[in-house]
Chain A
């Protein structure tokens, strides 16, 4: 192998670092109509009347859509594979406003100024209703967020009359009985805020009509094929009428697994025939798109004197905001990607409610529920370790599953094929000096250092749901084109697949072109999310390469006139037993000429019945100023088991980035609303993500395992890396100060005021 498990430069690196025009807004035609959205100032209101007469007179205004004239087909904007479980609770312009920022009108004009001017001149008469702004009061509240004909195919009890988009309960053994038997128990309730994804490129899309009367949308999306379905559904037109193209993307982190900006240019261009564009402001990206689900999680867990964790119960309440989106699927990971870490379980319970409120919708964000669940469960286990008098890392080592073990309380895997988690923990202990340094240390300047740790898991794609198709073509002169529908959003999947093809076809990477994504020409792929690209699409790539090798040998056998079994292919040429050689270049040229032409195209699809978990151990060392509560991260160590890291550089950077986002979640990223439901933290001035001065030293290593069902032994890495910092830092702060923070973020104020 030449490329897999090495640090290869990204195939798009040169274009990106030279600032080439490769992103959505760089590519949009200059003559695009500019779209602006008039948004509701009320968290809950009915539009009694909306008058656009004066606004229409603004020069350059081309179209204004409101609840009076917009298409009224129900849809969801969540990017979910079939079966779509998200409720169809949206229409393009509704007459009910469900959060501050809901769209009251869509204005398209020749310039931004004219569009904004027209927005200001639209007269909306609202009947202001009382909103639900506290998610703990939403369930069975007499105020209904959705009092309409929205519906869900979800099997999980969609009950909008109770403001519930889903609720449920799962049991493993008898939790109550097992919990009662435990020597040490902890019962603690945690709160996590609606963290914002904050990719640097906000939501943006432009649309134009093709000569054939089809709508083409170019969009910064993680889910081009889902976006095609969303748009066709929203407009009530056949899927064949819609084409979606994904250029380079300036980050997503899950935010772009939901269609956000896509609908508006699609509608404007479809109705006017003219190209149109919508760029979300940063304020809109914060307040009017989607975020992580705000949650309250109660965990009860217990262990015996040896530290065997035998009983875990997780009761979770999740706030999906104004629209259902990913609410019914995110919640599952709170329990399913946490409880299975503990393999001595005898009694488990997982209970959930997901509620509507009059706040910004939550949808997908890296970690997808596992982040919140990990914070709650790992914080609880750290408390259990203290009660049992067992070192926190040692307690994990006693409880985690070995390779081959049966795994409980997850639908996505029954037996553990691969796990490097033990190595993650032991290597992390070495790197941070877990056994050498005191876990609480007063420094000469009076500041206090503390250490803490946590473990976590995630999935690799969604079992029995995710799928991917790829197409590998042998082109004239012997190079390959790999057509994919997976969406590189900066994460480097285009590069990773090229590495896989190069190794499988025994050729240099320069001979491989990776193309993605254009729904007209790319093979179907749900997109890049759920940590699926490397594992699921990667396996499709491996299959396609195997198939391509067969095709090459078949054709060579015909042309060399000798039995196929006697031929060998080394990537550059095919050699017969008698030493006759046919170069791939010659074969490839011959295959595209004359009556015997036969371009070799290998297609492959892959879906997985399992979702093998990547694992991670995170260790934090922090320093708190006891006089002010100010806390700095000194070191954050993360050791990951992602199976085989296909690209060592990209896996490392992914991990560092995930840890940094996790540090933000732990220490800085706070969401505030005004009492009327307007978000206050709707810009980078007030919503603080870590700068390079805030992360401390980030140290990353890998504890490789080999996943037999993955490409080259790989599992996923995209999401697992965000989960450990919050519980590890909470524990480190506790060690240092004696203050246990159960509601994120850990502000200096919570620490100072909590100190005794």
Chain B
């Protein structure tokens, strides 16, 4: 069981940050999807829904995805589809169900840096940046590798450029957590390939112009969990990478 002592909906990010850092057990609310799974005693729960972070915005040379944008928005955004094809749609459409994706947020998904995160895998395949209130704007790779620290994730910033992209995943049951995820993007003959749910969290597995699925796999570490063994993951990883590469080549 979880408990919350106080609910706060700040009107600006500074207020949110002050509240977050005021006590150790204060926390930012994402989509609250898994709040009930934990046994946390939360002091102040900080709700960012008053900060206008719930839009996908075309700023001219970038596309900015607010932290409170829902996974469903990612899935259905025409703007994202114009730039990156079906990358985001394919990445999130297997996540639990429509109602879940209507409330689950990009910020919650990225901040959590969960091993099974489809969103993180997709973002890593693009030169995405994470805008943090205190630390400033950093690359998604740096953010993914960083230890957890108290900060307000405001948005994700993507270059407004057209990428050929593909998302591949292995799920045994249609809406289960993935057993392996893989995203590939390509622009100007430069490939970015990310692999997640190994079950360790996604990482940028390759960045260059001559990807070799087996060699990329050989450089990755895999582990076992109740869904699948490390051996199984290692065996299907090059399959998913090859399929993604093939799809990207068709896109181009």
Contacts and interface: CB of A to CB of B under 8 A. Distances in A.
Direct A/B contact, Cβ within 8 angstroms: yes
A628 B236 contact: yes
Given A628-B170, A686-B226, A691 B175 contact: yes
Contacts of A667: 172-173
Contacts of A688: 172-173, 176
Contacts of A628: 170, 236, 239-240
Contacts of B231: 753
Q: Is the interface of B mostly helix, strand, loop or mixed?
A: loop
Nearest to B34: A685
A116 B228 CA distance: 35
B229 A680 contact: no
Given A116-B1, A627-B236, A753-B232, A680 B226 contact: yes
Contact of A749 (B1, B175, B228, B239): B228
Interface string A149-181: 000000000000000000000000000000000
B236 A752 contact: yes
Interface string B219-246: 0000000101101100110011000000
B174 A694 contact: yes
Given A627-B239, A628-B239, A693-B175, A748 B1 contact: no
B75 to A, nearest CB: 16
B173 A690 contact: yes
Given A116-B1, A628-B239, A686-B226, A668 B172 contact: yes
Interface string A648-688: 00000000000000000001101010000000110001101
Contacts of B176: 688
Contacts of A672: 226
Interface string A628-659: 11100000000000000000000000000000
Contacts of A583: none
A749 B232 contact: yes
A316 to B, nearest CB: 26
A652 B174 CA distance: 25
Interface in B1-24: 1, 3
A688 B232 CA distance: 19
Contacts of A629: 232, 236
Contacts of A681: 226
**Most central of A113, A630, A672, A688 by chain B CB within 10 Å:** A688
A407 to B, nearest CB: 39
Contacts of A690: 173
**Most central of B177, B231, B232, B239 by chain A CB within 10 Å:** B232
A289 B216 CA distance: 46
**Most central of B172, B177, B231 by chain A CB within 10 Å:** B172
Interface in B136-192: 170, 172-177
6 contacts: A113-B1, A670-B226, A681-B226, A748-B170, A752-B236, A753-B231
Interface of B: 1, 3, 170, 172-177, 226, 228-229, 231-232, 235-236, 239-240
Given A667-B173, A752-B232, 13 more contacts: A113-B1, A116-B1, A630-B170, A630-B172, A667-B172, A688-B176, A691-B173, A691-B174, A747-B172, A747-B228, A749-B229, A752-B235, A753-B235
Interface of A: 113, 116, 627-630, 667-668, 670, 672, 680-681, 685-686, 688, 690-691, 693-694, 747-749, 752-753
- In the A-B complex, the 7 residue pairs with the closest CB atoms: A693-B174, A688-B173, A749-B232, A672-B226, A627-B239, A628-B236, A668-B173
